[in-house]
C-alpha cells in the first residue's frame, strides 16, 4: 500500500461527454475527505476545456457527507465559453444524490499588472522538520485502529508542520498554522496535474486551525466538524512536487462555524495560491 499514488486517485474514468467517475480513498475520517472531491471535480472540469485554458479559481459547496467506500460520479456543465475566460459547473453524485457543487473559472494566460503585497513568513526549512506522519507512526498503539489501517493513504503528500502540535494533548494556541507540503512522487510537466493535487491537499489541516484557540484537536470527539464551502485561487504556475508553504489562519469562529483563510508560497517566496473555507464547528449536544 506504500506505492499508492495520488495521481491515480485524480485520474478519472470517462463515462461519456461531460460525465466522469472517480474511485474513493478511505482516509479514516468520519466521511469522504473533502480534498478528494475537490481534486477530482477540478480534474473533471479540466477535461472539458481547451488545453490552453488554465484554472484560476474555483468555488464549491459541500451539501452532504460523502461515502469513502463508494465511487463518485462527476457531471460537468458548460456554463460559458468566452474569448479569454470559460466557466464550468461540476456536480458530484453518489447513490443518486448530489453531495457537492463546484464552479470553476478558466483563463487563457495573458500579461497584466503584477504585484504581491506581503512576504512569505520566515520559518524553518522543510528539510529541518520531520514528516508529520512520523509522529503517528511513533504512537501507533495510541491511535484508533481505523487510523492505523489508513495511514498509507496519507503518505502521498509529505507534510511537515512548523509548529509542534500534539493532537493527543492539544493546548490553547493562536489560530495560525504553517505547513510545508509537497507530493511524495514526482509529477508530470502538466500544470493541470499540479493544480488538482494541490486542490486535494488544500483541505488538510485547514478547518482544524480554527480549533487551536479553543485548545481542541480533530481527535476530540466532543466536536463535530464538516466543511461547508471552500474557495481557491491559482495565481501563477507552480510545481507541487517541490516544497510549498501553506500558511493558514482563522480570523473568526462563532455560531457553530469557523472561518479559515490560507496563502500558499513556493520556496522563492512567491504567492502561488490563496484559499478560504468555512466549516461547521458544533459541540456535540449543543
Q: Residue 19, by phi and psi: left (phi above 0), alpha (psi -120 to 50) or beta?
A: beta
- Going by the DSSP 8-state scheme, the letter that residue 92 receives in this structure is E
Residue 129: phi, psi to the nearest 5?
Answer: -110, 150
Distance of CA 31 to the CA centre of its chain: 15
**Please, what is the Cα angle at 191 between 37 and 78, to 5 degrees?**
55
- Asked whether 276 and 261 are in contact (CB, 8 A), the reply is yes
Residue 282: phi, psi to the nearest 5?
Answer: -115, 125
Q: Which residues pair with 136 in a beta bridge?
A: none
Q: Which residues pair with 276 in a beta bridge?
A: 231, 261
Distance of CA 108 to the CA centre of its chain: 24
Task: Tell me which residue of 227, 229, 285 sits closest to 31, measured CA to CA.
Answer: 227
- 52-69 burial, b at 16+ Cβ within 10 Å, e below that, comes to ebbbbbbebebeeebebe
Distance of CA 12 to the CA centre of its chain: 18
- Asked whether 62 and 35 are in contact (CB, 8 A), the reply is no
- So which residues are the catalytic ones? 203, 227, 277
Amino acid at each position: 500500500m506504500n506505492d499508492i499514488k495520488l495521481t491515480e486517485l485524480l485520474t478519472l474514468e470517462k463515462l461519456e461527454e461531460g460525465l466522469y467517475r472517480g474511485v474513493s480513498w478511505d482516509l479514516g475520517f468520519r466521511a469522504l475527505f473533502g480534498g478528494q472531491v475537490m481534486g477530482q471535480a477540478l480534474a473533471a472540469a479540466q477535461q472539458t476545456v481547451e488545453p490552453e485554458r488554465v484554472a484560476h479559481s474555483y468555488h464549491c459547496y459541500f451539501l452532504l457527507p460523502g461515502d469513502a467506500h463508494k465511487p463518485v460520479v462527476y457531471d460537468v456543465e458548460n456554463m460559458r465559453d468566452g474569448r479569454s475566460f470559460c466557466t464550468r459547473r461540476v456536480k458530484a453524485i453518489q447513490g443518486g444524490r448530489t453531495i457537492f457543487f463546484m464552479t470553476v473559472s478558466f483563463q487563457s494566460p495573458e500579461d497584466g499588472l503584477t504585484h504581491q503585497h506581503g512576504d512569505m513568513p520566515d520559518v524553518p526549512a522543510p528539510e529541518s522538520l520531520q514528516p508529520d506522519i512520523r509522529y503517528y507512526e511513533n504512537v501507533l498503539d495510541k491511535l484508533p485502529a481505523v487510523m492505523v489501517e489508513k495511514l498509507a493513504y496519507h503518505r502521498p503528500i509529505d507534510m511537515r508542520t512548523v509548529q509542534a502540535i500534539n493532537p493527543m494533548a492539544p493546548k490553547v494556541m493562536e489560530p495560525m498554522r504553517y505547513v510545508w507540503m509537497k507530493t511524495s512522487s514526482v509529477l508530470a510537466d502538466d500544470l493541470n496535474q499540479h493544480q488538482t493535487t494541490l486542490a486535494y491537499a488544500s483541505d488538510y489541516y485547514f478547518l482544524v486551525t480554527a480549533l487551536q484557540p479553543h485548545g481542541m484537536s480533530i481527535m476530540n470527539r466532543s466536536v463535530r466538524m464538516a466543511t461547508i464551502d471552500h474557495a481557491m485561487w491559482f495565481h501563477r504556475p507552480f510545481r507541487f512536487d517541490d516544497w510549498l508553504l501553506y500558511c493558514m489562519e482563522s480570523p473568526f469562529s462563532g455560531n457553530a462555524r469557523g472561518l479559515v483563510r490560507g496563502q500558499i508560497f513556493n520556496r522563492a517566496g512567491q504567492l502561488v495560491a490563496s484559499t478560504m473555507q468555512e466549516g461547521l464547528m458544533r459541540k456535540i449536544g449543543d
